[in-house]
Amino acid sequence: MFPTFISILDIQSWWEVPCVAHFCSLFSQIFNLPDFHIEDLEEALLADGNESQTTLLSDLIVSLLRGCDILQNSRQHIHTSNYQMFLRRLFRKQCQVHNIENPFDSDTDFQLLPLRRKLEILHNLCYFRLESKNVPELLDKLEADSLRIEPLGYDDKDSAYWYFFGTRLYREDYLKSEKKHKLKCDAVWQVICFTEDDWTNLAAKLKASTSRRNRALSKILYENFLPKIPKLFKEKEDQRRRK
């Protein structure tokens, strides 16, 4: 079951959001995808059904659908006014191939689905796009290191720190709970750096720690991120003004 009320904090805790945004940032040119920040995707998701605010979602879906081989004979006919028909067609076929649940079994329109389900569809659609025959040739144009995403490091509580792109830093916490005598670990995501001050304060806090892990993570932030962060924030602000 999906919650009926979704807040921006809920959306910021969903790991699929930065994953989809990073995918689109990485492949924006070679796949001809919309250019946007993680915050833009969050705002589009939060609008949820307000047509004047969800242009990004429909544009993104259309761009991804046009690149899928299964729909190659219909590419020129896929537009924001009719993409739902092609989206359902793609998922009917791909869900059978991958043996996963089809979110469109009842032919429900994308706009009417729960918000988390919409995000799951976007996330799956990104990977369906990677199955096209021309992808290996296109990926040769990218550096191999840019295709691998790994945590920057771990703190003394075993929390993982993730950077995708842009100006945000995420932390993945693992909550351990014992249910029916079985140890279960649930991952909880949250944004821990929104502003320049957040980055600076986090690095200083980790540096002052007695934990080797924390100090090692602090070194990564000081050497690889803090010198670049002011420029990233300025570029982000300049881009928003141009838009």
How far does Cα 131 stand from its chain's mean position?
A: 19
CA distance 219 to 27: 30
List the alpha helices (DSSP H) in 133-210.
135-139, 196-207
Residue 144 is predicted with a pLDDT of 67
**What would the pLDDT profile of 1-10 be if each residue is shown by its tens digit?**
555 678 899 9
User: DSSP letter at 132?
Assistant: S
- The contacts of residue 176 (CB under 8 Å, 6+ apart) are 183, 184, 185
CA distance 160 to 11: 19
CA-CA distances (angstroms) from residue 97 to 42, 94, 109, 133? Answer: 30, 5, 22, 16
Sheet holding 160-162, edge to edge: 153-154, 160-162, 169-179, 182-193
Q: Token pair of 35, please? A: 């250019």
DSSP-based three-state secondary structure for 29: coil
**pLDDT tens for each residue of 206-224:** 999 999 999 999 999 999 9
Alpha-carbon Rg for the chain in angstroms: 20
> Where do the structural domains in the chain lie, given as residue ranges?
8-140, 150-242
On average, the pLDDT of the chain sits at 88
pLDDT of residue 190: 94
CA distance 8 to 220: 29
Q: What percent of the chain has pLDDT over 70?
A: 90
> In the prediction, which pLDDT does 52 show?
47
**DSSP reduced 3-state for 197:** helix
Q: For 233, which DSSP code? A: H
Say if CB 62 and CB 129 are below 8 A apart.
no
| Beta strands, E only, the chain | 153-154, 160-162, 169-179, 182-193
Q: Is the pLDDT of residue 151 over 70?
A: yes
Q: Which amino acid, 203?
A: A
Identify the DSSP state of 141.
T
pTM: 0.86
- The pLDDT assigned to 240 comes to 79
Sequence length of the chain is: 243
Query: What are 21-64's pLDDT values in tens digits?
Result: 999 998 998 899 998 989 999 999 988 655 544 689 999 999 99
The closest of 35, 114, 118, 123 to 84, measured between CA atoms, is 118
